[in-house]
Amino acid sequence: MIPATLRMLAGVALAYGVALVLYWPVRRRGGWAWAALACGLAAILACPLFIPTEHVPLRAVAVFVSVDLFFRLVDFTRQVQSGRRTSVNWPTYARFLIPWPVLLIVFNQRSRQLPPDAPRAPELLRAAVAGGVFAVALSLTLAAQYSPRLRESFLLDHAAKVLLFLVGIEALAQLLLGLERLGGFDSLPFIDRAYQSRTPAEFWFRYNQRVRLWLTLNVFLPAGGRRAPLRAIFAAFLVSALLHELAFGIATSRFDGYQALFFLLQAPAVMLSPALERFASRGPLQSALARGATIAWFSLTSILFFTSADRVLPFFYVGRPWLP
């Protein structure tokens, strides 16, 4: 039998092969380009299915690659069909498909470069410190498996993991930012102090800024943008819900709706955020209450997200999750 790792590498190679070939049909204007893109994306998203179902982490890696290509191909096709990218050659297109910097998935973002004489020492320090913090957060997450108290209380276990996740993901964002800037890229952190958010809308503005930009350009604005904000917000979270449900479903071979429900619940929370922001601006007490409400909201709804994540990384939760 073919080892699972080789299957994963073959699936990833096939996904990139399909993406590279799509350069020619998606540069044609009109419906044929979108039809070719749809067929190509279906093939790319199916590539993780080469991996046996019991190898969930390997499937998750392949799914990440496939979804990353999905984002890049949709954005590139949008820009070509709008007439903004009519003279892009194949080598430039191929470089855009390279998944570095991480999730820099809007076509023109890779061209932003730091000056050649930009200081490197601060970025080395950033990467070193952030890498150390991330290692500590990961070590504590692994060590938590041996905690009887966390094993006995899912609520305590979940609270600890939310805290460790926030610390770890912020540190990972700074680590990647430091490495990217050492490579000469003028990129922004994909997460920018999300823990400071006073409202759900602010949280999602700060969290995963790179995918947010993609959703803004490819979903929010085409769905109406600020002219029809409620429809546009719902459309953005609907697309995010479907992509997350599909990604976790393929990785774990289980579609239970947890990811879809989590992201769909965020839409009304974001719609109500302006009222919460006005309340928070009245004074320090109101600001603290708004932050508390935002923390409580994400602490509760993130059970949906992390239950699915626990199936990919079974060491995440110590005890038995509340959800089946």
Task: Say which residues have a Cβ less than 8 Å from residue 132's Cβ, sequence separation at least 6.
Answer: none
* 131 and 29 share one domain: no
Q: Which two tokens stand for residue 77?
A: 């096709």
* 251 and 167 share one domain: no
pLDDT for residue 1 is more than 70: no
> By the 8 A CB rule, do 215 and 241 touch?
no
Of 111, 131, 166, the residue at which a domain comes to its end is 111
* 21 and 68 share one domain: yes
Number of domains in the chain: 3
Helices 154-182 and 284-312, packing angle to 10 deg: 90
> By the 8 A CB rule, do 216 and 277 touch?
no
311/10 Cα distance (integer angstroms): 24
* 311 and 219 share one domain: yes
Range of the domain at 16: 4-111
* 11 and 77 share one domain: yes
131/122 Cα distance (integer angstroms): 14
| pLDDT reported for residue 112 | 85
Q: Which two tokens stand for residue 237?
A: 């979270």
> By the 8 A CB rule, do 131 and 175 touch?
yes
Q: pLDDT tens digit string along 79-108? A: 999 887 768 899 999 999 999 999 999 998
* 232 and 181 share one domain: no
* 250 and 140 share one domain: no
Q: pLDDT tens digit string along 141-191? A: 999 999 999 999 999 999 999 999 999 999 999 999 999 999 999 988 899
Q: Which two tokens stand for residue 192?
A: 């920018």
Q: Which of 284, 290, 279 lies closest to 200 in space, CA to CA?
A: 290
Q: Which two tokens stand for residue 97?
A: 């498909």
Residue at 321 is within a domain: no
Residue at 191 is within a domain: no
Residue at 322 is within a domain: no
Rounded mean pLDDT of 181-210?
Answer: 93
Residue 59's H or E segment, with its range, is: helix 56-81
Task: Say which residues have a Cβ less than 8 Å from residue 168's Cβ, sequence separation at least 6.
Answer: 133, 134, 137, 138, 141
205/207 Cα distance (integer angstroms): 6
- The total of other beta-carbon atoms located within 10 Å of residue 275's CB is 10
* 68 and 173 share one domain: no
